[in-house]
Amino acid sequence: MLKSYTFCFLSLCKEKFYVQLVTEIKKRFIFSDPIFDIVSIVDPKVAQEYKVKSLTHILSRFPFLKTHVYSQELDNEWRQHALLDYTTHNIDVNSPADVYWGKVFSLKNNMNIQIFSNSKIVIGILIVLPFANASVERVFSSLNLIKSDQRNKLETSTLRSILHTKDGVLSNGGILKLEPTKEMYSNSIWKS
């Protein structure tokens, strides 16, 4: 009897947790942003289907790419990608995106020049985008924890030092495994 109550309680907690999780995700992301459609082309199956006929809309969304990529060549490469003979090049659309695109971008023409140089830049940015957002979210989350009402007047240099310290402690296995160096002991951090 106690087990069934415990199970029901845990199920209810889990359900409430998932509801709260989805609510928080909805608050943080603007799902109407066209970036979600743009990023979908990173998926090998979506890219291979060639439903997206041109990649110039990506250059409009990320204008800094225009200085590194030629839009017409990008579209030419995108069409050429759609016509690739995957079996000849030993490329599997079911493989993970990084493996798939790694093989595509390693292809060279008869003159030993990379075939998809413009596509490599654009897809490379799109592959990194979700990770970049997650990293930024983690930093802002840390800043929100550090900058409370009582500590609101901290200078940028102090915030930076706290974040570096936190990162240093975490990268060395946590506070219990931290071995302070002689340099750490000798630094006079309390002197002005």
Query: Which pLDDT value is given to residue 78?
Result: 92
Using a 10 angstrom Cβ sphere, with 0-12 exposed, 13-18 middle and 19 or more buried, the burial of residue 52 is middle
Query: Which pLDDT value is given to residue 103?
Result: 92
Q: Domain limits of the chain?
A: 35-132, 148-192
Calculate the alpha carbon distances from 85 to 61, 70, 78, 89 in Å: 30, 25, 14, 7
Query: Which pLDDT value is given to residue 189?
Result: 55
Query: Which pLDDT value is given to residue 160?
Result: 77
In tens digits, what is the pLDDT along the chain, a chain of 192 residues? 667 777 787 788 788 877 887 787 777 766 677 777 778 888 888 888 888 888 888 888 888 988 999 999 999 999 999 888 888 888 888 888 889 999 999 999 999 999 999 999 999 888 887 655 556 667 667 777 777 766 777 777 777 777 778 877 777 787 777 777 777 666 655 554
Residue type, position 14, single letter: K
Give the integer Cα–Cα distance in Å for 49 and 160.
46
140: part of which helix (H) or strand (E)?
Answer: helix 117-146
Count CB neighbours of 191 within 10 A: 5
The packing angle between helices 117-146 and 156-171, to 10°, is 110
The packing angle between helices 117-146 and 97-105, to 10°, is 140
Query: Which pLDDT value is given to residue 165?
Result: 80
Query: Which pLDDT value is given to residue 86?
Result: 85
155: part of which helix (H) or strand (E)?
Answer: none
Residue type, position 37, single letter: D
Cβ burial 21-37 (10 Å sphere, 16+ → b, else e): eeeeeeeeeeeeeebee
Query: Which pLDDT value is given to residue 128?
Result: 80
pTM summary value: 0.56
170: part of which helix (H) or strand (E)?
Answer: helix 156-171
Query: Which pLDDT value is given to residue 35?
Result: 73
Count CB neighbours of 69 within 10 A: 22
